[in-house]
């Protein structure tokens, strides 16, 4: 059981990294210094769905980390 939880934790961690990198930037970043940044429109439907998936994967990662870290799941 413990190895299953740790496996889920590792997979959700990798998925979380990938999902965060897929997100589009929300701000101007360094482009705002020279005034050449474009203004972004509001979040699209795809971005809202990506946000929900990211929150679900992040919650799974946090739950698995808490279970293993607090010793609820023991090896």
pLDDT level of residue 27 (50, 70, 90 thresholds): low
Q: What is the pLDDT of residue 46?
A: 78
**Max alpha carbon distance in the chain (Å)?**
55
> Is residue 57 a contact partner of residue 9, using CB atoms and an 8 Å limit?
no
Q: What digits encode the pLDDT tens for the residues 38-63?
A: 555 555 777 889 999 999 999 999 99
Note if the pTM is more than 0.85: no
Burial 48-59 (b: 16+ CB within 10 A, else e): eebeeebeebbe
- Work out the mean pLDDT of the chain and round it to a whole number: 85
Residue 28 in this model has a pLDDT that exceeds 80? no
Which has more pLDDT, 71 or 30? Answer: 71
What whole-number distance in Å separates Cα of residue 68 and Cα of residue 3?
Answer: 10
């Amino acid at each position: 059981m413990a190895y299953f939880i740790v496996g889920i934790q590792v997979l959700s961690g990798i998925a979380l990294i990938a999902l965060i990198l897929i997100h589009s930037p929300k701000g101007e970043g360094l482009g705002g210094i020279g005034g050449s940044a474009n203004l972004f429109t509001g979040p699209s439907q795809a971005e809202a769905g990506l946000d929900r998936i990211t929150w679900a994967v992040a919650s799974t990662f946090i739950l698995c980390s808490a279970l293993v870290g607090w010793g609820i799941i023991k090896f």
